[in-house]
Amino acid sequence: MTDPTTTNTTVAGTTVKVMRKGRGAPLLILHGASGAGAWLPYMDKLAASFDVIVPEHPGYGGSDMPDWLDTMHDLAYFYLDFVEKLDLKGVHLVGLSLGGWLAAELAVRNTGRLASLTLVGSAGIYVKDVPQIDPFLRSDEQRIRDFFYDQTLAEAVIAKALAPELEDVNLKNRLVTAKLVWQPRGYDPHLHKWLHRIDVPTLVLWGEADKLYPKQYAEAFQRLIPGSRSVVFPECGHMPNIEKPDDFVAEVARFAKEKRAA
Amino acid sequence: MKIFNFHLMPYGAADLDAIQKNGSAWVTFSNSHYDPEKGAELYHRYLDELEFADQLGFDGVVLNEHHQTAYGLMPIPGVLAGALARKLKRATLAVLGRALPLVNNPLTIAEEYAILDNLMRGRFIAGFVRGIGAEYHAMGINRPSRRAASTRRTT
C-alpha cells in the first residue's frame, strides 16, 4: 500500500485536507463522525479502479474550522462547491455514517455532477421504534466497541484511535460532531421528505449488526430513494468499509461498473 | 463576610444500588425510581430547613437548578423560590441559577426574577449558569451552539 497524495485545497475561502490516489472515475468518500483519519486498506483497494478522493470535512482534523459551519446543510453546500472547484464529473459519491447523511443532503440539492450515490450505515433520517445506541452517552472505548461486530477488531481500533497524540484531533472532531448532530440526535427531520429527488443510481450498504443505525435504517433509505438497492453484510457492524473491506470494495466497484454499462 | 445556606435538595430516598447498577444518578436513571409521596415529604422538609436557616440568622438561602437527576429536585428553582419568598423574614434569597442556554426565550427568566425580586423587596440575588453537560442531554439542547447563544444573551 503506497501513500496517497495529501494536499490542502481551498474552496470559497475554506481550506480542507484532501487525500487522493488512483485512476479512473472520481470516487468521493465523505467520512463519518470520527474524521477522515489515515489512508485505509479499503481506500487503497478502491484506488485500483477509481480516482479516490477523501477530503476531511471543514471543522474536522486537519481542516479549517469555519465560522459559517452550523449545520449539515452548510457542509452539503460546501461539497457542492468542492466538486465544482475540482471540476469533478461523473462522481461516485460514497458517504459513511454522518458522511452518508451529508451525501444525501448534497444529492437532494443537486445530482448534476454525480454518477452514483452509495450510503453506508448512514445517519440523516429517523425510523420510529428502533432501539439505537446514543454515542454521546458512551465512553470513548465503549463507543468504538459499539461500532464493530468483531470485538477483536474493536480492540485493535481502540489502541490506534485513542492514542494520546490524537487527543486534540479527537476532541476537535467530537466538538464539531456535537454541533452538527446533537439535536435532533443524528438526523434532519426534513431530509426524508426530499430523498425522492435523488435521481442517480443509489446503493445502500449496511452491516447486519449495526447498533448505531440498525438495519431498519437501510430498509427506510432503500424505500425512500427511488430505484435504490440495498445490500446487508452479515456479521458486520456500523462500518462495513473497515469490518468487511473486501466485500465492501467489491460491492462499490460492481455497482459503479454496472451503472457504467447501463 | 456573609454566610448563606445552600440547598441542593437531593432525592434522599434514592435506591443507591439502583443508581450503581444504572451507572449514573443523572439523565438515564429512570423516574420509576421516584416515589412522589416520599418526594412530597422531602420538598416540605427541605423548605422547612431553609425557613429555619432564616430564623437561625443566615444572611441568605440559596437554590439551584439541575435536570433529571436524583442529585437535586429543583429543575425549576423559581417555584421553590416563590414558596420561600413569603416566609423569609430577613434572609436574602439567591437562585444560582437559571441556565439560559436551556430556554427558548430568556425573557421568561427575566420575568420570573423580576417577580421574585419584588416579592423579596429587593433581597434577591439573580444567578445565571451555563449548566453542566448532563443538562444538555436532559433538555435536548445543542451544547456547542447554545453556549455561543448564551454568551450573546447575557451581554
DSSP secondary structure letters along A138-194: S-HHHHHHHH-S-HHHHHHHHHHHT-GGGHHHHHHHHHHHHHHHTTTTTB-TTGGGG
Which residue is listed with cell 434522599?
Answer: B12
Q: Exposure pattern of B79-95 as b/e (b: 16+ CB <10 Å)?
A: ebbeebbeebeebbbbb
Cβ pair B142:A179 closer than 8 A: yes
Cβ pair B137:A137 closer than 8 A: yes
For residue B28, the distance in angstroms to the closest alpha carbon of chain A comes to 9
In chain A, residues with a C-beta closer than 8 Å to the C-beta of B27 are: 137
In chain A, residues with a C-beta closer than 8 Å to the C-beta of B140 are: 183, 185
For residue A246, the distance in angstroms to the closest alpha carbon of chain B comes to 38
> Which range is least confidently modeled, A116-125, A174-183, B86-95?
A174-183
Q: What's the half-sphere exposure (Cβ side, CA atoms, 13 Å) at A59? A: 23
Cβ pair A179:B145 closer than 8 A: yes
Residue B117 three-state SS: helix
The three-point CA angle A47-A49-A53 to 5° equals 40
Cβ pair B136:A182 closer than 8 A: yes
Pairing of strands A91-96, A114-120: parallel
Q: Decide: A13 and A65 in contact? Cβ < 8 Å.
A: no
Does the predicted interface ipTM exceed a cut of 0.85? no
What cell was used for B9? 435538595
For residue A142, the distance in angstroms to the closest alpha carbon of chain B comes to 14
Q: Decide: A198 and A103 in contact? Cβ < 8 Å.
A: no
For chain B, the farthest-separated pair of C-alpha atoms sits apart, in whole angstroms, at 47
Chain B residues at the A interface, defined by Cβ less than 8 Å, are 27-28, 136-137, 140-145
The confidence score (pLDDT) of residue B132 equals: 87
Q: How confident is the model at residue B10 (pLDDT cuts 50, 70, 90)?
A: very high
Cβ pair B143:A136 closer than 8 A: no
Q: How many helices (H) and strands (E) does chain A have?
A: 9, 8
pTM above 0.95, yes or no: no
CA distance A109 to A86: 18
Cβ pair B140:A136 closer than 8 A: no
CA distance A52 to B114: 61
What is the per-residue pLDDT across A181-209, written as a single tens digit (0 to 9) for each? 998 999 999 999 999 999 999 999 999 99
pLDDT higher than threshold 80 for residue B12 = yes
Cβ pair A183:B141 closer than 8 A: yes
Cβ pair B145:A136 closer than 8 A: no
Q: How confident is the model at residue B131 (pLDDT cuts 50, 70, 90)?
A: confident
Q: Decide: A233 and A206 in contact? Cβ < 8 Å.
A: yes
Which residue is listed with cell 435504490?
Answer: A228
Q: How confident is the model at residue B145 (pLDDT cuts 50, 70, 90)?
A: confident
CA distance B77 to B91: 17
In chain B, residues with a C-beta closer than 8 Å to the C-beta of A178 are: 142-144
Residue A252 three-state SS: helix
The confidence score (pLDDT) of residue A262 equals: 57
Q: How confident is the model at residue B133 (pLDDT cuts 50, 70, 90)?
A: confident
DSSP H or E run through B137: helix B133-139
Q: What is the mean pLDDT of chain B?
A: 93
In chain A, residues with a C-beta closer than 8 Å to the C-beta of B141 are: 182-183
pLDDT higher than threshold 90 for residue B140 = no
